[in-house]
Amino acid sequence: MTLSAFLERHLRSGVILVLIERAQGSTPREAGATMAVSPGASAGTIGGGQLEFHCTDIAREMLANGVSEKHLDIPLGPQMGQCCGGRVGVRLQRADAAALAMLAASEMAQAVARRPVMIFGAGHTGRALAHALAPLPFAVTLTDDRDDVLGGLPTKITCVRMADPVQAVERAAAGTAFVILTHSHALDYRLTEAALARGDATYVGMIGSGTKRARFEASFLRSGGRPDALARLTCPIGAADVDDKRPEVIAALTAAELVRSLLAHKSASSLEKAAIASGRRAGHDAAA
C-alpha cells in the first residue's frame, strides 16, 4: 500500500508521518525515508529494527496525547539496540489533508519517472523475472510474439504481444534496460544487436551460456557490430558463478543486476524529497 493510500484510509483516526531528516554514518535508511503510523497500523519503513519500533511507539503516544510534532536525535548504538553506529534526525508530524494531497501528487510523479525495463520473452524465466521486478521501482514491460503466454502476471507489469519485438527495442526510451530471454536464439540475437546498436541502454542482458555469448559475438562482429559495444553486454545474465539454473534463481540474480545498474548511488526519491519539503513547510506555517 502506498503512503497516500494509507493516509486516505486512516486520516480520520489520526496518522503520524515519521521522516528521516538527517542520516549520518551507517544508518538503516537514507535521509528522506518515510513511514506512516496510525493507532493500529503502519505503512512504509525507516529501516526496521529497534529504531522503527521506538519511533512507532512515540508516534502512537503522540496520537493518544494530541501532540502534533516532535523532533528526535537518535544515536544508533547499544542503547538503541542497534549496531549501525550512525546517527539519525527524525521528525514525527501529524498528517493532514494537505500532506495527503502532496504525497499523492508526488507518488504519481514518481511512478511516471520510474526507470524503464523491457523484458523480451514470457517463458519460465521471463515470467519469474516479471514477478521479481513487480515490487521494485521500475516501469516494466514484458513483450512476446506469442498469443497465449502473457496471462496471470502482476498488474504492475505491462504486457505487449508484438509480431516483431525488435520494433519495441527501436522505439524504447533512452536509458531503457533490456533483458532478452525469448524462445528463439535467432530472435535473442536480433534483439540484442538492436539494443547494443542504440548505445544508450542502461543494461543489455541476454540469457545463455558462455558458448552462446561467443557465438553471438562472432555473429555481431561479422554483421558489422562495433567490438566496444560488446563490453556493454551482460551474458550470461544472473551471475555466471551460480550453478542453480532454476528460473526463479536466475530471475532473482538478474533483478539484483538491474538494481545495481539502474539504482546505484540513487539519491532520495521525489516522494521522499516531497515528504521533507512538506514537513518543513508545515513547520514554517505553524510558526507563522
Note whether residue 52 is domain-resident: yes
Which region, left, alpha or beta, applies to residue 101 given φ > 0 means left and ψ of -120 to 50 means alpha? alpha
- The residue assigned the cell 502532496 is 102
Indicate if 150 and 250 belong to the same structural domain: yes
Q: In the chain, how many domains are there?
A: 2
Note whether residue 101 is domain-resident: no
Indicate if 221 and 122 belong to the same structural domain: yes
Note whether residue 106 is domain-resident: no
Note whether residue 250 is domain-resident: yes
Task: Provide the pLDDT for residue 1.
Answer: 82
Note whether residue 69 is domain-resident: yes
The x, y and z cell numbers of residue 207, run together, are: 540469457
Task: Provide the pLDDT for residue 129.
Answer: 98
Which region, left, alpha or beta, applies to residue 47 given φ > 0 means left and ψ of -120 to 50 means alpha? left
Note whether residue 144 is domain-resident: yes
Task: Provide the pLDDT for residue 81.
Answer: 63
Note whether residue 72 is domain-resident: yes
Indicate if 65 and 130 belong to the same structural domain: no
Indicate if 48 and 121 belong to the same structural domain: no
Indicate if 20 and 56 belong to the same structural domain: yes
Indicate if 70 and 205 belong to the same structural domain: no
Domain of 196: which CATH number? 3.40.50.720
H/E stretch holding 210: helix 210-222
Q: Which domain holds residue 87?
A: 3-95
Indicate if 30 and 60 belong to the same structural domain: yes
Consecutive sets of 10 residues in the chain, 288 residues long: mean pLDDT of each?
Answer: 93 97 92 95 93 96 97 83 80 96 88 90 97 95 92 94 95 96 96 96 95 96 94 91 91 96 65 48 44
Indicate if 205 and 152 belong to the same structural domain: yes
